[in-house]
Amino acid sequence: MVLKIYNTLSGTKEEFIPLRKGHVGIYVCGPTVYDFFHIGNARPFLIFEVLRRYLKFKKYNVKYVSNFTDIDDKVIKKANELGMKFSEVAEKYIQEYFQDADCLNIGRADIYPRATEHISDIIDFVKKLEEKGFAYSVDGDVFFDVNRFEEYGKLSKQNLEEIRAGERIQVDDRKRNPYDFVLWKKAKENEPSWDSPWGKGRPGWHIECSVMSTKYLGESFDIHAGGADLIFPHHENEIAQSEALSGKIFAKYWLHNGYLKIDNKKMSKSLGNILKIRELCEKYDGSVIRHFLLSAHYRSPLNFSEEQVEQSKNSMDTLINIIYNLEFFKKQGRLTKEMRPEDKELLDKKVEMESKFVEAMDDDLNTPVALSTLFLLAKSVNIYLNDNELKNEEIMNEILGFYKKYGSDILGLKFSSKKETNTILEDKEVDKMISDRELARKNKEWQKADKIREQLKSMGIILEDTAEGIRWKKG
């Protein structure tokens, strides 16, 4: 099967053919490190890391780069508010990023370049643009001349006249064109700065990503990705300055994820509905949030609500129970090498779901359909485990292997909760459940008592009536 991805540049779904056979270079715009990142930020960080996982599954050698914007107006403002150095603020929130990324099981990039580590590279890049006539300096600021780049607007599908009609910009009479963008900013009082041919200053935002991506992936690379909000002006400007300098295609494929809303409203500080991952991870297991973010196609809008996240929690509980029950049956040792018709039927179902999973992911990373295969197989597994026959050892291993490969390795789901639900229980927890059951029986609440007994049974707890009272053991 062939992987196809939607390329924003062409506006079509294209077969993925890397520039170099067997090798893929990916650049994903990372966070500006001045605060904890929120669930909207998390969507591109997570989905494009799943793309990396899937490309590795497809046997590609992947080089994955995601940057940290550690010098920016927002970083400087936060440093002034806290009475800290900008570098201290950046370092603090880089570490906080990793903690939250770990909660969501977002794997580490191969390289995390920081803008401040590439100042000399940025200066060289801007100098070369100036030498080629694509940039000009005014009073210590350096601007990119968009009129010199004939293809400006090709990513956002707008020409300069359409951009002017649809956007409001701050008027700067020093610019040759209102949409000329800054490459190098003149130093302001009490702001960090670096020496340059144009005087003390610091880099503009757009130039940082062009420099860092091409430094580690080359002048032309395969995939550049980020949120839809970055298409214009950030990614448009990256293309202009990069291709103006090299004369080559910058990135072959451009991938962008859709917007995320909170209860059908745009996230904003004024509405007070910014949901930070740190806060969500205190309430939910990371895999619940991860499941939610994968439950819609990455290019589609996604709406966050408590109800939808609870649905993701229930879905993860279903998968956790399946894995637990499979492992529990294995621990019991009630296995055989004999192959029954039921065993063959389940094996065929697994093979069918593998094919459906790959077909979905090959279709522009259709994670909702890929996720559905985990649950379709779970239904068949439940039926298989509910009879009293011995279980085929090979089949049990095959099913567990399916969930590890497709659920964990590719989709990044962890089949255990923050509190280790359905795993090893502390004795006192079991004792409390038994006490609750006995109290229910005493109060003639038979339905409640039966429910507790079934819960204990599903966890592998066997109850025994003795002269001394109820005893329990693990099956």
Q: Mean pLDDT throughout 52-69?
A: 98
pLDDT at 289 over 90: yes
Report pLDDT for 421: 44
Q: Mean pLDDT throughout 253-269?
A: 92
Cβ neighbour number for residue 361 with a 10 Å cutoff: 24
Query: In the structure encoding, which two tokens stand for residue 199, read together?
Result: 């005087």
Q: Tell me the sheet residues that pair with 15.
A: 4
Query: Treating both helix axes as pointing N-terminal to C-terminal, what angle do 73-82 and 86-103 enclose, rounded to 10 degrees?
Result: 100
Q: Specify the long-range contacts of residues 233-238, CB closer than 8 Å, at least 24 apart.
A: 233/179, 233/181, 233/206, 234/29, 234/205, 234/206, 234/209, 235/155, 236/152, 236/153, 236/154, 236/155, 236/156, 237/144, 237/181, 237/206, 238/206, 238/209, 238/210, 238/213
Q: What's the Cα-to-Cα distance from 322 to each of 19, 150, 415, 458, rounded to whole Å?
A: 41, 57, 9, 11
Q: Please give the share of the chain, as a percent, with pLDDT higher than 70.
A: 93
What is the pTM (predicted TM-score) of this model?
Answer: 0.86
All structural domains of the chain: 4-280 (3.40.50.620), 306-410 (1.20.120), 427-474 (no CATH)
Report pLDDT for 318: 93
Q: How does residue 180 score in pLDDT terms, banded at 50, 70 and 90?
A: very high
Report pLDDT for 475: 55
Q: Are strands 4-7 and 12-15 parallel, antiparallel or unpaired?
A: antiparallel
The CA radius of gyration of the chain, in Å to the nearest whole number, is: 27
Q: Mean pLDDT throughout 22-41?
A: 97
Is 3 in a helix, a strand, or coil?
coil
End-to-end CA distance of the chain: 44
